[in-house]
């Protein structure tokens, strides 16, 4: 069993902890929290030993009736791997703690790429993490772009990718985030950080990205234009390739899923925990081919698409399964592909129309 400690138990950390617990070869040895808020109460109710991220605030947990298992130092010492899911920049500050205990660690996409030896996407470069001690799981947007671009890159070559990212303003629990009534270029400069970040996964890829933020908490939405090096036979070929990807959910037009709101409703109806959607959501109707130019729109659930990637990265670091074996086990245990809409495995919606 791989003993996993989670340092930073927020949006990403709590989801990764639950996903780790669902694995037959992993256990959660504890989670580190700074404050005894409702999320900390949830962690104790879920049965996770809670450690104090901040020794100075340990007394606050006692006052709230939460028994601490120790300090984060002890958690790191007892873990085979630590998943650091602290806010952007804090992970880099924590790295000396992991080095001190000789404990391998995963960092998240908000960290600079220099925080780790490898930037990771399970579909593209699982093997590169096998010899590493420190791995960065790239951000939600970079994960979504890497999954989408991988089959195109492998099968046709990519001359140039251009992506506009319509980014959700904040997560549902980020009450202080905006914009409230605006659409904000973010960043105003071009390219946004996403293009260079995708190049940490595909070093030779020519990609430009533009980012903006809008007043929603639900999902990010990407409009993608990829100029392929070699022309596919037809658009059906592309659609079938995307359908065959394990972490891409292709949305047929009959489903009536017309945006992030209906996607989230579908996920909740399908019984997904927290309404999570671990897969890229690609609208089949949007897949359009003009010669070598491919156009498409996809939605990315920012709170959850990196979760299976973290699970696979833990295995990659530990080195006991291959990439395909790990992905398959993660998919099976989490239920990824459980409610596909293309008629192959759907238990929630039967395909009503033929191609």
Ligand X SMILES: NC(=O)C1=CN([C@@H]2O[C@H](COP(=O)(O)OP(=O)(O)OC[C@H]3O[C@@H](n4cnc5c(N)ncnc54)[C@H](O)[C@@H]3O)[C@@H](O)[C@H]2O)C=CC1
Ligand Y SMILES: O=C(OP(=O)(O)O)[C@H](O)COP(=O)(O)O
Q: Which residues are catalytic?
A: 140
d(CA 126, CA 338): 23
Residue nearest to ligand X (CB): 10
Give least dist CB 145 to ligand Y, A.
Answer: 9
Q: DSSP of 112-160, one letter per residue?
A: -GGGSSEEE-HHHHGGGGTT-SEEEEPPHHHHHHHHHHHHHHHHT-EEE
Q: β-strands 158-168, 207-214: how paired?
A: parallel
Regarding 149 and contact with ligand X (CB under 6 A), the answer is no
Residue in 5, 109, 323, 337 binding ligand X, rule: CB under 6 A: 109
End-to-end CA distance of the chain: 45
Nearest CB to ligand Y, comparing residues 192 and 331:
192
Which listed range, 20-28, 104-112, 241-249, 313-321, lies at the site for ligand X (CB under 6 A)?
A: 104-112
> What's 63's DSSP letter?
H
Of the candidates 186, 184, 178, the one whose C-alpha atom is nearest the C-alpha of residue 217 is 178
User: Using the rule CB under 6 A, is 198 a contact of ligand X?
Assistant: no
CB of 293 to ligand Y, least distance (A): 25
Partner whose binding site includes residue 167, from ligand X, ligand Y, none (CB under 5 to 8 Å by kind): ligand Y
CB-based contacts of 334, cutoff 8 Å, min separation 6: 19, 22, 278, 307, 308, 311
Residue 111 binds which one of ligand X, ligand Y, none, with CB within 5 to 8 A depending on kind?
ligand X
Q: Binding of ligand Y at residue 141 (CB under 6 A)?
A: yes
Residue among 103, 119, 121, 139 that touches ligand Y (CB under 6 A) = 139
Determine the Cα–Cα distance for residues 307 and 277; give it in Å rounded to an integer. Answer: 10
109 binds ligand Y (CB under 6 A): yes
One of 90, 113, 212, 329 touching ligand X (CB under 6 A): 90
Q: How far is the CB of 222 from ligand X (least distance, A)?
A: 14
C-alpha distances out from residue 202 to 30, 158, 327, Å: 34, 11, 19
Region of 44-52, 85-93, 266-274, 334-342 interacting with ligand X (CB under 6 A)? 85-93
- The token duo for 21 is 């617990």
Reduce the secondary structure of 253-271 to three states and give it as a string: HHHCCCCHHHHHHHHHHCC
- Is 281 marked as a binding-site residue? no
Q: How far is CA 284 from CA 149, 257, 266, 296, in A?
A: 16, 11, 17, 8
Within 36-75, the residues that bind ligand X by CB under 6 A are 53
Non-local (6+) Cβ contacts of 54 within 8 A are 34
Q: Is residue 314 a contact partner of residue 322, using CB atoms and an 8 Å limit? A: no
Minimum CB distance to ligand X smaller for 106 or for 341:
106
User: Which x/- pattern, by CB under 6 A, does the window 283-322 give for ligand Y?
Assistant: -------------------x--------------------
140 binds ligand Y (CB under 6 A): yes
The residues binding ligand X (CB under 6 A) are: 7-13, 32, 34, 53, 85-88, 90, 108-111, 139-140, 171, 302-303, 306
The residues binding ligand Y (CB under 6 A) are: 109-110, 139-142, 167, 194, 302
């Amino acid at each position: 069993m791989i003993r996993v400690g989670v340092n930073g138990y927020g949006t990403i950390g709590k989801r990764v902890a639950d996903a780790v617990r669902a694995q037959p070869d992993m256990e959660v040895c504890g989670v580190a929290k700074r404050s005894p808020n409702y999320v900390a109460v949830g962690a104790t109710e879920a049965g996770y030993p809670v450690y104090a991220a901040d020794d100075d605030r340990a007394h606050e947990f006692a006052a709230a009736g939460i028994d601490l298992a120790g300090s984060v130092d002890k958690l790191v010492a007892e873990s085979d791997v630590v998943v650091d899911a602290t806010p952007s920049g804090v992970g880099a500050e924590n790295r000396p703690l992991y080095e001190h205990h000789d404990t391998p660690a995963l960092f998240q996409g908000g960290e600079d790429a220099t925080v780790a030896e490898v930037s990771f996407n399970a579909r593209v470069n699982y093997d590169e993490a096998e010899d590493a001690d420190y791995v960065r799981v790239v951000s939600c947007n970079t994960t979504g772009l890497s999954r989408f671009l991988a089959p195109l890159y492998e099968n046709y070559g990519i001359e140039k990718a251009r992506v506009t990212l319509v980014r959700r303003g904040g997560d549902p629990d980020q009450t202080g985030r905006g914009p409230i009534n605006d659409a904000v270029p973010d960043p105003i400069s071009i390219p946004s950080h996403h293009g260079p970040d995708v190049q940490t996964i595909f070093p030779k890829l020519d990609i430009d990205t533009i980012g903006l933020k809008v007043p929603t908490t639900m999902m990010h939405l990407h409009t993608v234009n990829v100029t392929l090096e070699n022309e596919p036979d037809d658009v059906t070929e592309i659609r079938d390739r995307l359908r065959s990807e394990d972490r891409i959910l292709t949305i047929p037009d009959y489903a009536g899923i017309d945006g992030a709101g209906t996607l989230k409703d579908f996920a909740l109806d399908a019984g997904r925990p927290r309404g999570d959607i671990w897969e890229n959501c690609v609208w089949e109707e949007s897949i359009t081919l003009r010669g070598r130019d491919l156009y498409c729109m996809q939605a990315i659930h920012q709170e959850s698409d990196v979760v299976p990637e973290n699970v696979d990265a833990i295995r990659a670091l530990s080195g006991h399964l291959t990439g395909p074996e790990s992905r398959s086990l993660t998919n099976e245990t989490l239920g990824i592909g459980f409610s596909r809409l293309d008629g192959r495995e759907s238990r929630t919606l039967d395909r009503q129309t033929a191609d």
